Amino acid sequence: METQIVLFQLLIPGVGLISGLIATYVSLQNRALLAEVRRELAELENRVIARINGTFVRQSECLLREALLGERIDVLTEAKKITAAGD
């Protein structure tokens, strides 16, 4: 009877210890997996942003191009008027 009590006194903490170790291992595995998923998501986000920036033109760039093109057309128009007036 006393050996059974001693056995239970050792068995119950042993089971608790093993259970805790398994839980810690699973928790560490989950953290590692989560970190890997976050890293891959960040890389994918960077690739998507790089692709969008390379494909689409920002509105400010469009306005700047339009203003520059307008200035070039004005310069060409003035040059054409001067050439036409000189003839």
Question: Is there a single domain that holds both residue 27 and residue 10?
Answer: yes
Question: Is there a single domain that holds both residue 49 and residue 72?
Answer: no
pTM, 2 dp? 0.49
pLDDT for 21 equals 94
* Distance in angstroms (rounded) separating the CA atoms of residues 31 and 86: 80
Phi (first) and psi of residue 57, to 5 degrees: -105, 135
Question: Is there a single domain that holds both residue 52 and residue 42?
Answer: yes
pLDDT for 87 equals 63
Question: Is there a single domain that holds both residue 48 and residue 13?
Answer: yes
pLDDT tens over the chain, length 87 residues: 788 888 788 888 889 999 999 999 999 999 999 999 999 999 999 999 888 877 777 788 888 999 999 999 999 999 888 888 776
Question: Is there a single domain that holds both residue 27 and residue 67?
Answer: no
pLDDT for 65 equals 92
Domain that holds residue 12: 1-56
Three-state DSSP at 26 gives helix
Give the angle subtended at the CA of 42 by the CAs of 58 and 26, to the nearest 5°.
165
Question: Is there a single domain that holds both residue 20 and residue 48?
Answer: yes
Question: Is there a single domain that holds both residue 42 and residue 18?
Answer: yes
Radius of gyration for the chain, computed over Cα atoms and rounded to the nearest angstrom? 37
* Distance in angstroms (rounded) separating the CA atoms of residues 53 and 79: 37
